[in-house]
Amino acid sequence: MEVRAFARSLPVSPQKIRLVCDQVRGKDADQALAILAYMPQKGAGYVSKLIKSAIANAENNFELNRLDLYVKTIFADDSFRLKRMKAGARGRYKPRVRRYSHLTVVLDEREVD
């Protein structure tokens, strides 16, 4: 049984959040949370919060055991961009792009033999 959780419009660029996602893909859910707790990146907090939400969804809505869950799929997509400008030398301006991202986590049960 797959359990999905989504986080929309996170104020971190998708490229930076993908680096965090690559570290926890395929790991057990509790092991992934332990790894994320010691990562210094800003995106690690968002990923950790989303995995906790997916675990809570699995336990409450689908009555799955927390110990059997693992991170089957996790990915970050591009969201909207805020385009701003900063004044530059000699009357010019320098564009600044603030990127946002969407994050998706899919947890699944490990098959017990």
Q: Which residues pair with 8 in a beta bridge?
A: none
Would you give the end-to-end CA distance of the chain in angstroms? Answer: 16
3 SS3 class: strand
List the chain pLDDT tens, one digit each, 113 residues: 899 999 999 999 999 999 999 999 999 999 999 999 999 999 999 999 999 999 999 999 999 999 999 999 999 999 999 999 999 999 999 999 999 999 999 999 998 76
| Tokens coding 112 | 């017990």
Class of domain 3-109: alpha beta
CB atoms within 10 A of CB 51: 23
Predicted pLDDT at 1: 87
CB atoms within 10 A of CB 69: 23
- Domain boundaries, given as residue ranges, for the chain: 3-109
Predicted pLDDT at 113: 64
Q: Would you say the pTM of this structure is higher than 0.85? A: yes
Report pLDDT digits (tens) over 8-30. Answer: 999 999 999 999 999 999 999 99
Q: Which residues pair with 85 in a beta bridge?
A: 95
